[in-house]
């Protein structure tokens, strides 16, 4: 049996080595992007590479910091997209930090599925999605809105989102705004900036962005029946 002191020394050496590689990878990335916001660096399932979370994106960097790879890593034997699986987990963790009272929720009495939708008041397909809210709810799909004004902080779309949030009846205000109605300009404590930053953190590139309960990102509008079929399929796959 290996002596405790020897075992502890091996663990310490392994930890030091990992920290050294971590530093090499961090420095390598910063030579490319000096102000890079590195969220995490972890060992990858891909031999010889570290997995780096960088501004909502996942990249892979060799342990010597020489090569950087962008793309998805697939486990062929198990038919699993390991990169997307990791992204899904990150989305679930991030959205778990958003309480219900920071969302605008449209839900049926009996909920079969819940989706989080990052929306822009002026986005055409966002409006189309909202026009079908009754159909989504009729199929047991609850829609929980967060804001993602694509034009950015301080834009006209941003202010429209604030107007909705600060209205006495947020659900009614959302429906009116999505129909193209100009709402009264309002100001109050609101989560629009935080929502927008969260969307950037998890790597959104457009709206509507639909995120399922398991963290799967479904970019773009989907008709109610197609969405229900997709959600049922994801739930069934999760139980297998």
Residue 3: CA atoms inside 13 Å, Cβ hemisphere, count? Answer: 3
Q: How far is 14 from 21, CA to CA, in rounded Å?
A: 11
Q: How far is 204 from 57, CA to CA, in rounded Å?
A: 10
Residue pointed to by tokens 């590195």: 38
Distance of CA 183 to the CA centre of its chain: 29
Q: How far is 187 from 34, CA to CA, in rounded Å?
A: 37
Q: Is 230 in contact with 222 (CB distance < 8 Å)? A: yes
DSSP 24-54: HHHHHHHHHSTT--EEEEEE-SSTTEEEEEE
Residues labelled catalytic: 120, 123, 126, 150
Q: Is 65 in contact with 27 (CB distance < 8 Å)? A: yes
């Amino acid at each position: 049996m290996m002596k405790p002191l020897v075992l502890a020394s091996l663990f310490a050496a392994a930890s030091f080595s990992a920290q050294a590689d971590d530093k090499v990878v961090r420095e390598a990335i910063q030579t490319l992007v000096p102000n890079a916001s590195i969220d995490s660096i972890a060992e990858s399932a891909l031999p010889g590479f570290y997995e780096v979370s960088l501004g909502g994106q996942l990249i892979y960097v060799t342990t010597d910091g020489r090569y950087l790879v962008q793309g998805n890593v697939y486990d062929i034997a198990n038919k699993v997209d390991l990169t997307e699986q990791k992204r899904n987990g990150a989305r679930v963790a991030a959205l778990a930090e958003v309480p219900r009272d920071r969302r605008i929720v449209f839900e049926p009495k009996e909920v079969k599925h819940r989706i989080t939708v990052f929306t822009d008041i002026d986005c055409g397909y966002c409006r189309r999605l909202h026009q079908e809210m009754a159909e989504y709810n009729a199929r047991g799909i609850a829609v929980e809105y967060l804001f993602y004004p694509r034009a950015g902080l301080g834009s006209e779309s941003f202010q429209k989102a604030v107007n909705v949030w600060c209205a006495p009846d947020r659900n009614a205000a959302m429906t009116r705004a999505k129909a193209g109605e100009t709402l009264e300009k309002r100001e109050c404590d609101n989560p629009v900036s935080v929502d927008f930053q969260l969307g950037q953190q998890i790597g959104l590139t457009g709206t509507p962005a639909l995120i399922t309960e398991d963290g799967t990102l479904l970019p773009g509008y989907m008709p109610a029946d197609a969405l229900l079929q997709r959600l049922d399929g994801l739930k069934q796959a999760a139980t297998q």
